[in-house]
């Protein structure tokens, strides 16, 4: 069992009601939901997309690089809000550099 699956199973055994997958593209979310029998498992990406779709007519997504663009469109489709996703724009800055190079991040 992969570590995140073990973690979710352990939280459920301890009586937790919910868990949030803290990665923007929700990797492994379907698998985590599959192993959870009673506990809600939500992805940060899905929650963000649904909130944006609820609050606005159209929304856009900034992602770290080109390799993640299709993943973002796929996530919008799985979340049921692909029709409201106007664009996905890569910023071409690695995740760890976002906090280390404030000037480049803010460009």
Report pLDDT for 103: 79
CB count, 10 Å around CB of 74? 13
44-55 helix and 69-79 helix, angle to the nearest 10 degrees: 70
Give me the residue label for tokens 């997958």. 21
CB count, 10 Å around CB of 45? 23
Report pLDDT for 102: 75
| 3-state DSSP assignment of residue 76 | helix
Report pLDDT for 106: 76
Q: Mean pLDDT of successive 10-residue segments in the chain (107 residues)?
A: 84 95 90 92 96 96 94 96 98 84 75
Report pLDDT for 66: 96
Report pLDDT for 1: 57
Give me the residue label for tokens 């900034």. 62
Report pLDDT for 93: 86
């Amino acid at each position: 069992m992969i570590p995140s699956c073990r973690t979710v199973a352990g939280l459920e055994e301890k009586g937790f009601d919910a868990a949030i997958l803290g990665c923007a593209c929700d990797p492994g979310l379907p698998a985590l939901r599959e192993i959870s029998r009673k506990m809600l498992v939500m992805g940060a990406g899905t929650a963000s997309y649904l909130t944006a779709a609820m609050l606005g007519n159209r929304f856009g997504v900034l992602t770290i690089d080109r390799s993640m663009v299709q993943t973002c469109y796929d996530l919008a489709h799985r979340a049921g809000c692909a029709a409201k996703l106007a664009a996905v724009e890569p910023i071409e800055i690695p995740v760890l550099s976002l906090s280390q190079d404030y000037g480049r991040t803010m460009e």
